[in-house]
Amino acid sequence: MNNLNRHTTYQRQDHVGIFTITNPPQNYLTDPEFIHPDFLLEVASDSSIKALIIKGAGRHFSAGADRNLLFSMSSSNCLEDQIERGKILLSHIEMLDIPVIAMIRGACFGGGLEIALACHIRICSENSMFAFPETGLGLIPGLGGTQRLSRLISKAGAIEMILGAGLIDAEKARQLRLVDHMVSAKDIESFTFDLIRQMTENRTAHVVRYAMRAINNSCCLNVDTAMKEETKLFCMLAKEEAKRQQLEGKQ
């Protein structure tokens, strides 16, 4: 199945799937749905895949949408449909039951930042820059960025960043908790894979997926329901582990 946008590639390395935005040098997005949701879910459902990485080719993550393409879509009345499909894709990324890491170098602007915000963990290099420039163009973020940023760094921080439309460097992004880790550009890839190994090595696919499912439930279920689901997942894993130990005892 080839359900990738023509400016996105997919490869796997051991237990990690890697999506790369490939429209250098700025890696502009030509379509908000940069991965077809069916392909994303197909990849994520592979029990041998324990984590995903989203990154940009070359020096930048993504500088967001191509303005000329964006305005041409608005004049042809297809923009709303494109935006809605992009939002559905990002919601799928946000709710996957394996960890999704944004590996950010260079520019992470507009729609590129909205992709990063949908990921579970954001790792950036020291030369990264972040911005929502849309209000300076007479627009606002349209792929859920207003909501995700407000939840992540506070409502006040989101107001200042979105209306201010200014650049934020990597250190400021770390202070705001916009990113989770900041490392040198030469170390970002090894750091990312080391982090994935720490989270997934010697853990079964079920442990990884059930933990992620329980954590994701905190975003979409009320506390009581999320707690009950956590108990169910815990008990399912306990039964599986008991069976495994019983089988090993018979060998």
List, for residues 59-106, the tens digit of each pLDDT value.
999 999 887 777 777 666 788 888 999 999 999 999 999 999 999 999
**Which of 6, 143, 124 minimizes the C-alpha distance to 64?**
143
Query: Are both 18 and 140 inside the same structural domain?
Result: yes
- Identify the pLDDT of residue 146: 97
Q: What is the CATH number of the domain that holds 196?
A: 3.90.226.10
Query: Are both 156 and 32 inside the same structural domain?
Result: yes
Query: Are both 212 and 168 inside the same structural domain?
Result: no
Query: Are both 116 and 209 inside the same structural domain?
Result: no
Residue 57 in any domain: the answer is: yes
Residues of the chain with confidence (pLDDT) below 50: 1-2
Please state the separation of Cα 175 from the chain's center in Å.
Answer: 20
Query: Are both 210 and 117 inside the same structural domain?
Result: no
Query: Are both 195 and 211 inside the same structural domain?
Result: no
Residue 2 in any domain: the answer is: no
Which structural domain, as residue segments, surrounds residue 219? Answer: 205-250
Residue 3 in any domain: the answer is: no
Tally of domains within the chain: 2
Query: Are both 132 and 170 inside the same structural domain?
Result: yes
Query: Are both 123 and 230 inside the same structural domain?
Result: no
- Identify the pLDDT of residue 10: 96
Q: Name every residue whose Cβ is closer than 8 Å to that of residue 237 and which is 6 or more positions away in sequence.
A: 206, 207, 210
Per-residue DSSP letters for 174-224?
HHHTSSSEEE-TTTHHHHHHHHHHHHHTT--HHHHHHHHHHHHHHHHS-HH
Residue 80 in any domain: the answer is: yes
Among 163, 181, 200, identify where a domain stops. Answer: 200
- Identify the pLDDT of residue 251: 63
